[in-house]
Amino acid sequence: MQTFGQLASSPSAASGSRLEQLAAALPKFETRGMNFFYGTHQALFDISLKVPQKSVTALIGPSGCGKSTYLRTLNRMNDIIEHTRVMGPVLLDGKEIYSPDVDVVSLRKRVGMVFQKSTPFPKSIFDNVAYGPRIHGNRNRQSLVEIVEKCLRQAALWEEVKDRLKDSAMALSGGQQQRLCIARALATSPEVLLMDEPASALDPASTSRVEDLIIELKQNYTIIIVTHNMQQAARISEWTAFFCQGRLVEFGLTKQLFTNPVQKETEDYITGRFG
Ligand SMILES: Nc1ncnc2c1ncn2[C@@H]1O[C@H](COP(=O)(O)OP(=O)(O)OP(=O)(O)O)[C@@H](O)[C@H]1O
Ligand SMILES: [Mg+2]
């Protein structure tokens, strides 16, 4: 079966409307009229967005428009910031993630996150990747060995580190550290990967490796990525959401949004007139 990602990348998806209907029918995430506050400061206004499953959705927009805030509402990372408030449904597979009965640790197992600055723990390469499975109760050495190898392979890092798994992760290069963080995020078998500018601190070669990896991963994962790099959004995503001043201005197939945007604000942004 083709994923939405593959369908969206195919030339026959040019019109998009059928595909958009299909994707909207089975969203991985959905927010409906969602508002978000830091204390009294409202950072997101009335965000209604359906994120299609098993594809890459890019969040773009000027600095301060709320991209990271939106991303963090999806695995409740904003919960750790005091005096924050989410109003309006945030649904994962149709279920409200802010319900009192939702276990946040399990939610974050399903919805992993990779940050802009690679953040390996000051531990060995092996222990970084085994960290999540151990937290979730996996004490079986053989199983951990298998998970670590599988995830490092998925993150295209295995060949570079297989002979030094006991070395500190801090001794890896920036690009390797970022791929290690991706491996660590994959180790808990998430369904969704949230990535906040994962390649912005990397050189072109490492960026290209991370992009290839994202394209590879979308076969099995729903990926939502914040990026300031519009070429990157165009290269790796099927869907793009353009945010401005806390509002979702436009959402659609990346190809259409970049070549034939509906809103003037989107056009001004992607042609570099502001932001
Ligand atoms: N921890 C916080 N406490 C209070 N306000 C915050 C906090 N984090 C972000 N904000 C505010 O929320 C708004 C959206 O910020 P956010 O970080 O989501 O923007 P962004 O689109 O990710 O920007 P950038 O592209 O610069 O990363 C901004 O006005 C910002 O000042
Ligand atoms: Mg941000």
Mind giving me the DSSP string for 83-107? TEEEES-EEETTEETTSTT--HHHH
What's the CATH number where 195 sits?
Answer: 3.40.50.300
* Whole-prediction pTM: 0.91
- pLDDT score recorded for residue 116: 83
CA distance 22 to 40: 38
Q: Is residue 156 part of a domain?
A: no
Q: Is residue 90 part of a domain?
A: yes
- pLDDT score recorded for residue 273: 78
Q: What is the domain range of residue 72?
A: 4-123+190-262
Q: Please tell me the residue having the least CA distance from ligand 1 atom 16.
A: 66
Nearest Cα residue to 195 out of 154, 158, 157, 233: 233
Q: What's the 3 CA to ligand 1 centre distance in angstroms?
A: 33
Q: Based on the structure, what is the number of domains in the chain?
A: 1
Q: Is residue 129 part of a domain?
A: no
CA distance 114 to 179: 10
- pLDDT score recorded for residue 47: 98
Q: Closest ligand 1 atom to the C-alpha of 41?
A: 5
Q: What's the 115 CA to ligand 2 centre distance in angstroms?
A: 10
- pLDDT score recorded for residue 62: 96
- Longest CA–CA separation in the chain, Å: 56
Q: Is residue 164 part of a domain?
A: no
- Counting ligands in written order, the one closest to the CA of 66 is 1
- pLDDT score recorded for residue 12: 47
Interval 96-149: pLDDT, tens? 999 999 999 999 999 999 988 888 999 999 999 999 999 989 999 999 999 999
Q: Is residue 157 part of a domain?
A: no
Query: Which residue numbers in the chain have pLDDT < 70?
Result: 1-19, 21-25, 275
